């Protein structure tokens, strides 16, 4: 029998429906998922051995949960995915404001309806996606918003005294009865509002304007908070923290591969970009390395964090930069270049909080610095280490390339060259291909031009070449020649 075909309380009793609390419901469905070997939280990367086991333990313990972590660590995403652990449908009294359980009603409305109609009391079936409530904690949130207040309009319409509890207008939390209720950025909630949550978390009941109303609400609470908030904007009051069963620490991706998986999943790309723009694997690695460099940079506030959204929006901007160049050159397809990364700078400057030294440098300069640091870090994964002091009679793998710049002078590479002209310019530096043949002989040919540009930027980062930005591109020179020209 299809459960949703049951329309009255009598039919529900006859079916033998068993009442369970939302915490038991989450627990039982989680147990079934674990036993069947199914993935609990799909689409979450890098938390398989850290955060997700802790969430599972918290649900098995029937705890309310607080996700504590820096910005862009999937805290809200984790809370929303808990919906998948709810039953597909649950029965509710038809017309109930607070999702009354037909077999265990708690509101005056539901009790009076059952007293009047008995087994003929009509019921509805509430789908799981309607059992999720989310509230962003802001300073203007009131107790009335969350819990409820006296509604004078209702009192006037129903011709009731303010002493009658039927004049109460329920807030978001009572309306989320038998549901998951998420409060994002909990420390931003005023302390007096946090105090109003004490009874709901511990005893499960509410008080509204002095009314003697006891509503044993059945709610799975999930909170999110940023450690920075504890010092800068507010804090979670100690008794409230004490009533939250499990506090779970989130974190950023620990490897380039995990970071790439997140970016690949979350980036919003046009199908035409996917079809016409090829992104070398080295470019994808380089993009994620920028985020890793930002998280350890002395110019960026580590307490604020660097969101995973930085890499996602940077990837979108990277493809848009290549697409714009392709459209201007009237080409059908193109390959991402390292110089295209100039287009990701707006994605970086808006996503990082700078310390005083960083503010002095300026956000665009800090963004460029992160690009250069990423090249510096990754360079030795592909080419021999550049020694500061060269030993006598020891061959220098970059000697021929540096001599080329000493002989030929400056080399200019414009940002928006057509692909053929871009490749011809890089091919004119013969020693580049020799170095790649020696140290990366198996590197894909389709990606070799990105690697050539990467090699030039790498030698600049090790101060073996110089690089200057002009309006429409970059100029590379030998270090000594550039110094003399500047003099």
Cβ 422 vs Cβ 449: under 8 Å: yes
Give the pLDDT band (50/70/90) at residue 139.
Answer: confident
Give the pLDDT band (50/70/90) at residue 475.
Answer: very high
Same domain, 40 and 112: yes
Cβ 66 vs Cβ 254: under 8 Å: no
The whole-angstrom separation of Cα 83 and Cα 42 is 12
Same domain, 134 and 212: yes
**More reliable by pLDDT, 156 or 422:** 422
Q: What is the CATH number of the domain that holds 145?
A: 3.40.50.300
The number of domains in the chain is: 3
Same domain, 97 and 205: yes
**More reliable by pLDDT, 211 or 284:** 284
Q: What is the mean pLDDT of the chain?
A: 89
The whole-angstrom separation of Cα 52 and Cα 227 is 20
The whole-angstrom separation of Cα 280 and Cα 453 is 12
User: Do strands 246-249 and 220-225 pair parallel, antiparallel, or not at all (unpaired)?
Assistant: unpaired
Same domain, 256 and 315: yes
Angle of the 51-60 helix axis to the 22-36 helix axis, nearest 10: 130
Phi, psi of 51 (to 5 degrees): -75, -45
Average pLDDT over residues 349-372: 92
Same domain, 407 and 350: no
In 276-361, beta strands by DSSP E:
277-278, 334-335
Same domain, 229 and 245: yes
Same domain, 288 and 392: no
Is a pLDDT exceeding 80 seen at residue 405?
A: yes
Is a pLDDT exceeding 90 seen at residue 1?
A: no
Last residue of a domain, one of 185, 215, 249: 249
H or E segment to which residue 421 belongs: helix 419-427
User: Do strands 65-68 and 246-249 pair parallel, antiparallel, or not at all (unpaired)?
Assistant: parallel
Q: What is the reported pTM? A: 0.87
What confidence score (pLDDT) does residue 263 get? 95
What confidence score (pLDDT) does residue 392 get? 62
Domain span including residue 486:
386-487
List, for residues 182-215, the tens digit of each pLDDT value.
999 998 888 888 888 887 887 766 666 666 667 7
Q: For the chain, first and last CA: distance in Å?
A: 89
The whole-angstrom separation of Cα 51 and Cα 42 is 13
Question: What would you report as the CA-atom Rg of the chain, rounded to the nearest whole angstrom?
Answer: 31
List, for residues 213-242, the tens digit of each pLDDT value.
677 889 999 999 988 655 455 688 888 888
Same domain, 447 and 430: yes
The whole-angstrom separation of Cα 6 and Cα 172 is 28
Phi, psi of 220 (to 5 degrees): -95, 110
Average pLDDT over residues 395-423: 90
Is a pLDDT exceeding 60 seen at residue 38?
A: yes
Report CA torsion sign: 458, 462, 467, 469: positive
Is a pLDDT exceeding 80 seen at residue 159?
A: no
Cβ 36 vs Cβ 121: under 8 Å: no
Is a pLDDT exceeding 90 seen at residue 89?
A: yes
What confidence score (pLDDT) does residue 207 get? 66
Q: Could you tell me which of 325, 324, 341, 332 has the C-alpha nearest to residue 280? A: 341
What confidence score (pLDDT) does residue 229 get? 55
What confidence score (pLDDT) does residue 156 get? 66
The whole-angstrom separation of Cα 379 and Cα 361 is 25
What confidence score (pLDDT) does residue 413 get? 94
Give the pLDDT band (50/70/90) at residue 457.
Answer: very high
The whole-angstrom separation of Cα 158 and Cα 486 is 85
Same domain, 237 and 315: no
**Which tokens is 307 given?**
């969101």
Q: How many CB atoms within 10 Å of residue 350?
A: 12
The whole-angstrom separation of Cα 356 and Cα 429 is 41
What confidence score (pLDDT) does residue 162 get? 55
Same domain, 18 and 146: yes
Same domain, 13 and 63: yes
Residue percentage of the chain with pLDDT more than 90: 66
Average pLDDT over residues 475-485: 72
């Amino acid at each position: 029998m299809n459960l949703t075909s049951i329309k009255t309380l009598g039919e529900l009793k006859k079916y033998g429906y068993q009442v369970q609390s939302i915490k038991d419901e989450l627990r039982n469905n989680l147990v079934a998922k674990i036993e069947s070997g199914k993935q609990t939280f799909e689409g979450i990367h890098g938390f398989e051995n850290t955060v997700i086991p802790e969430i599972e333990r918290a649900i098995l313990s029937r705890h309310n949960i607080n996700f504590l972590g820096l910005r862009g660590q999937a805290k809200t995403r984790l809370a929303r995915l808990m919906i998948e652990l709810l039953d597909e449908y649950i029965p509710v009294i038809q017309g109930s404001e607070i999702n009354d359980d037909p077999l265990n009603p708690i509101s005056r409305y539901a009790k009076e309806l059952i007293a009047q109609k008995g087994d003929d009391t009509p019921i509805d079936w509430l789908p799981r996606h309607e059992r999720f409530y989310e509230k962003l904690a802001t300073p203007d949130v009131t107790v009335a918003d969350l819990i409820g207040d006296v509604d004078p309009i209702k009192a006037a319409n129903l011709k009731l005294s303010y002493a009658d509890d039927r004049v109460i207008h329920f807030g978001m939390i009572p309306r989320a009865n038998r549901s998951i209720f998420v409060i994002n950025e909990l420390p931003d909630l005023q302390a007096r509002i946090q105090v109003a949550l004490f009874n709901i978390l511990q005893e499960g009941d509410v008080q509204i304007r002095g009314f003697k109303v006891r509503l044993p609400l059945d709610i799975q609470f999930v909170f999110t908070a940023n450690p920075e908030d504890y010092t800068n904007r507010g804090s979670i009051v100690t008794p409230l923290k004490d009533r939250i069963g499990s506090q779970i620490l989130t974190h950023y991706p620990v490897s380039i591969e995990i970071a790439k998986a997140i970016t690949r999943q979350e980036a919003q790309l046009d199908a035409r970009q996917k079809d016409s723009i090829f992104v070398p694997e080295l470019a994808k690695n380089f993009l994620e390395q920028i985020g890793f460099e930002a998280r350890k940079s002395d110019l960026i506030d580590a307490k604020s964090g660097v969101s995973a959204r930085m890499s996602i929006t940077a990837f979108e901007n990277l493809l848009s930069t290549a697409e714009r160049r392709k459209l201007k050159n009237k080409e059908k397809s193109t390959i991402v270049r390292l110089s295209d990364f100039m287009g990701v700078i707006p994605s970086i400057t808006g996503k990082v909080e700078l310390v005083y030294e960083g503010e002095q440098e300026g956000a665009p300069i800090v963004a460029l610095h992160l690009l250069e640091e990423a090249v510096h870090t990754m360079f030795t994964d592909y080419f021999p280490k550049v020694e500061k002091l060269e030993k006598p009679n020891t061959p220098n793998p970059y000697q021929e390339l540096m001599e080329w710049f000493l002989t030929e002078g400056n080399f200019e590479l414009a940002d928006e060259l057509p692909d053929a002209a871009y490749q011809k310019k890089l091919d004119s530096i013969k020693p580049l291909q020799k170095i790649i043949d020696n140290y990366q002989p198996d590197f894909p040919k389709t990606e070799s031009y990105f690697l050539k540009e990467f090699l030039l930027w790498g030698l600049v980062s090790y101060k073996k070449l110089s690089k200057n930005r002009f309006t429409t591109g970059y100029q590379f020179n030998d270090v000594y020649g550039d110094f003399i020209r500047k003099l």
